[in-house]
């Protein structure tokens, strides 16, 4: 009995360090508790959508879904990169799409297939302030509002199948950030890391709110974070952190694992929840990080106001 509890408390302590939870050693430790191997699932007849799906975690997710038999549609901003990715993978279709360019979303959704699995993964961190056509900061316009409009329009056009699963790929970086609505949409004091964390915090809040809406009752929507993964995006955004931690960073397969699990597991899942390494975790360091009811209403009102103006 002592050995059992000693192991339990030791894991608790390691998880509290963050470093030994979000890194590769954390994944390997958590993996020992995983219950099922999903690598032999048959997804023939299933249709998937992965935004930002030509490289990194999104690319790994797209390749795995394709390998299991799903027809996969991937989006990205780099058409040359997308075509190359398509040529090297079976069952894959590429669409050039910038999630901050809202004018193209409606046409894409209207002409698309009906999806069983949707992974909202696209994201980048411009070095300086960049605005879309509606004067919304680019990270917010693409990763938050653009992704919401994508699934909203797909649902409106009947392109999301009943019991579909929608995964928002957030980041552990949002843990140290409280939701800041004042800088979320228009940020004149732009700093890419702080902006990224704020947008990722807003994603988690949005998912919690969507799960309560009647519109989404026939699908399941989740947010998650993949831990610290050695992506090109991380290397470009945080070169010093990448250099310091590169031997401890998770690989793409490890980063994609919880996304694949959320899409395919037969375990009972809680829509609106935040997941890490195949289990529900709190997205809040303390209750002070949990947005107030007023902040949540303001966030939804702001997003819906843009939707009404555009659509």
pLDDT in tens, 91-133: 899 999 999 999 899 999 999 999 999 999 998 899 999 999 9
Tokens of 24: 């590769």
Where is average pLDDT lowest: 73-82, 177-186, 249-258?
Answer: 73-82
pLDDT of 79 reads 81
pLDDT of 309 reads 74
- C-alpha to C-alpha distance for 225 and 200, rounded to whole angstroms: 10
SS3 117: strand
Neighbours of 31 (CB within 10 A): 12
Neighbours of 120 (CB within 10 A): 27
Mean pLDDT of 239-254: 93
- C-alpha to C-alpha distance for 298 and 311, rounded to whole angstroms: 20
Beta strand ranges found along 52-172 (DSSP E)? 71-76, 92-96, 115-120, 160-169
Mean pLDDT of 150-179: 96
- C-alpha to C-alpha distance for 296 and 93, rounded to whole angstroms: 36
Mean pLDDT of 48-63: 95
Which domains, ranges and CATH numbers included, belong to the chain? 39-310 (3.40.50.720)
- Exposed (0-12), middle (13-18) or buried (19+): which is 38, by Cβ within 10 Å? middle
pLDDT of 123 reads 87
Asked whether the predicted pLDDT for residue 253 surpasses 90, the reply is yes
Strands 274-276 and 279-280 come out as antiparallel
Side-chain-facing half-sphere of 200: CA atoms under 13 Å? 26
Where is average pLDDT lowest: 85-99, 202-216, 258-272?
Answer: 85-99
Tokens 């949005």, residue? 206
Asked if 195 and 139 touch (Cβ cutoff 8 Å), the reply is: yes
- C-alpha to C-alpha distance for 144 and 134, rounded to whole angstroms: 14
Quick: pLDDT tens for 6-17.
455 456 666 666
Quick: pLDDT tens for 206-244.
999 999 999 999 999 999 999 999 998 888 888 998 899
Average pLDDT over the chain, rounded to an integer: 91
Asked if 258 and 276 touch (Cβ cutoff 8 Å), the reply is: yes
CA distances from 168 to 50, 56, 110, 135 (A): 10, 15, 21, 24
More confident site: 89 or 77: 77
Quick: pLDDT tens for 144-161.
999 999 999 999 999 999
Mean pLDDT of 175-197: 94
Contacts 24+ apart (CB under 8 A), 18-22: 18/172, 19/248, 21/227, 22/172, 22/227, 22/228
Tokens of 98: 């910038």
pLDDT of 3 reads 43
pLDDT of 311 reads 66
Tokens of 308: 């009404």
- C-alpha to C-alpha distance for 276 and 172, rounded to whole angstroms: 9
pLDDT of 12 reads 64
Asked if 184 and 133 touch (Cβ cutoff 8 Å), the reply is: no
Asked whether the predicted pLDDT for residue 82 surpasses 90, the reply is no
Asked whether the predicted pLDDT for residue 198 surpasses 90, the reply is yes
- Exposed (0-12), middle (13-18) or buried (19+): which is 14, by Cβ within 10 Å? middle
pLDDT of 1 reads 39
What share of the chain in percent tops pLDDT 90? 77
């Amino acid at each position: 009995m002592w050995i059992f509890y000693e192991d339990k408390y030791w894991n608790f302590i390691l998880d509290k360090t963050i470093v030994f939870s979000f890194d590769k050693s954390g994944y390997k430790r958590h993996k020992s508790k995983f219950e099922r191997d999903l690598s032999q699932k048959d997804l023939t007849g299933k249709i998937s959508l992965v935004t930002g799906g030509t490289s990194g975690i999104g690319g790994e997710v797209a390749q795995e879904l394709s390998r299991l038999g799903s027809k996969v549609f991937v989006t990205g901003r780099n058409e040359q990169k997308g075509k190359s990715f398509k040529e090297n993978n079976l069952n894959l279709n590429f669409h050039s799409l910038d999630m901050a360019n809202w004018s193209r979303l409606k046409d894409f959704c209207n002409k698309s297939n009906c999806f069983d699995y949707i992974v909202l993964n696209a994201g980048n961190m411009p070095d300086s302030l960049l605005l879309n056509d509606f004067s919304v900061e680019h990270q917010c316009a693409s990763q938050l509002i653009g992704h919401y409009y994508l699934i909203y329009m797909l649902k409106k056009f009947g392109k999301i199948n009943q019991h579909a699963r929608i995964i928002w790929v957030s980041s552990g970086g949002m843990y140290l950030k409280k939701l800041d609505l004042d800088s979320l949409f228009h940020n004149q004091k732009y700093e890419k890391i702080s902006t990224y964390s704020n947008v990722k915090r807003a994603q988690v809040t949005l998912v919690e709110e969507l799960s309560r809406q009647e519109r989404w009752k026939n699908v399941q929507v989740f947010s998650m974070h993949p831990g610290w993964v050695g992506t090109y995006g991380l290397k470009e955004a945080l070169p010093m952190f990448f250099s310091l931690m590169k031997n401890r960073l998770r690989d793409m397969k490890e980063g994609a694992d919880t996304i694949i699990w959320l899409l395919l597991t037969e375990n009972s899942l809680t829509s609106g929840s935040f997941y890490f390494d195949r289990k529900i975790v709190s997205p809040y360091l303390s209750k002070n990080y949990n947005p107030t009811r007023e902040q949540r209403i303001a966030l939804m009102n702001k997003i819906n106001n843009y939707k009404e103006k555009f659509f």
